[in-house]
A and B are shown apart, each in its own frame.
Chain A
Amino acid sequence: MSHSKDRPSYLAHHFSDPAQQSDSAKLGMWIFILTEILLFGGLFVAYSIFRAWNPDMFYNAHKFLDVKMGGINTVVLITSSVTMALSIRSMQLGRKKQTIGFLVATLLFAAVFLVIKYLEYSHKFHLGQLPGKFYTFTGVKGNNPHIFFSIYFVMTGLHGVHVIAGMTVIVMMLVRTMRNRFSSEYYTPLEMTGLYWHLVDLIWIYLFPLLYLIG
């Protein structure tokens, strides 16, 4: 049996070694990611049904989404994923200052994403392109155009909530990094935060073409 002398401080008592602890965290995180994909999966099914029923209305309504703004947001989110991955790499190499820099950069890109999203939303609010019974816009041809905007707001809104949650966790990781809680040996929470942030990017990769680029 190993005794406390051999055990690093970050190793919880119910794990036999750091590798087992890290593997358990990762398995748990991947199962959580799976539940997140299934959560969005229900919305993708709703999208598929309503688009299959109203293809022309979907095409006409999607013209009111700004491809330029959505495209910029895609670039912003991909870049934030790169900086997130690099922050973990920096910690693997024991470069604390670099890690902090990349985490701050990730937060800034996330904030830019939310600002652009806010501009898009406020424009639609202004035009009356609101979900469900609040829809008043008159320019979309086809039956039930409010359904497209309901789907748009629920899917991008839930994604936006995930961006905010991701930013919250990144701030927590930033504080922990500054307090020297991580090293090149132990950075599992940072790695799990990275997985979550990449999931946010992953969902946007599907949302962008499905909502903004209906051919």
Chain B
Amino acid sequence: MIESTMINRNSHHHIAPLWLYLAIGGALLVLTAVTITVSYIDLGGWNIVVALVIASIKGSLVAMFFMHLYYDKKIYTIVIVMGLLFLSIFISLTMFDTGRRGDIYEIKSEPIKPEADFYKELPPADSLDQTGHSEH
């Protein structure tokens, strides 16, 4: 591929080859099919992990090649990775609290409005334990 090394000397623009964009697009579609298929297999708690790993692979492909982070100055990657780092701190610290608060006192998932019409055709809410899991 001659095009793959084509660089406009005047403006230092990198021009990625056509096949690269088509290959990345194809990979994204394949990964979409994989994530849909895997979601129908019961992996218990691993379903969410697999879904997020596949989404992150897809996201990285988009950011690296469609958004050109792979070719551009590293400062842009640093900016966005720092942001994602702080977002992950935000989510993980919140989840520590949400996940472990039951160790201190009992938390019960209760309907905000038990008399709401849409509960009438459903089993009573107290058959659900604190995490919302059905006991039967």
Contact = CB atoms under 8 A, between A and B. Distances in A.
A141 B59 contact: no
Question: Chain A CB within 10 Å — which of B12, B67, B86 has the most?
Answer: B67
Interface string A9-47: 000000000110011001100110110011001001100
Contacts of A85: 21, 65-66
21 contacts: A34-B82, A37-B80, A37-B84, A37-B87, A38-B86, A44-B87, A48-B94, A53-B98, A67-B36, A85-B65, A89-B21, A141-B122, A141-B123, A144-B109, A144-B111, A194-B66, A206-B52, A209-B55, A210-B51, A213-B51, A215-B47
Contacts of B73: 23
Count class of interface residues, chain B: 35 or more
B48 A27 contact: no
B55 A81 contact: no
Given A38-B83, A44-B87, 18 more contacts: A26-B72, A34-B82, A41-B91, A45-B91, A48-B98, A56-B131, A78-B25, A86-B18, A89-B15, A92-B13, A143-B125, A185-B10, A205-B58, A206-B55, A208-B32, A209-B35, A209-B54, A214-B48
A121 to B, nearest CB: 19
Q: For the side of the interface on A, what is the size category?
A: 35 or more
Interface stretch (A153-161, A164-172, A195-203): A195-203
B63 A26 contact: no
A33 to B, nearest CB: 7
Q: Which 5 A-B pairs have the closest CB atoms?
A: A215-B47, A213-B39, A82-B25, A34-B83, A209-B51
Given A75-B32, A141-B123, A52 B134 contact: no
A18 B36 contact: no
B5 interface: no
Interface string A53-90: 11111000000000100010011001101101110010
Contacts, number: 172
Contacts of B110: 143
A142 B25 contact: no
Contacts of B11: 18-19, 22, 185-186
Interface string B76-119: 10011011101100110011001100000000011110000110
A138 interface: yes
A93 B52 contact: no
Given A89-B18, A145-B118, A79 B25 contact: yes
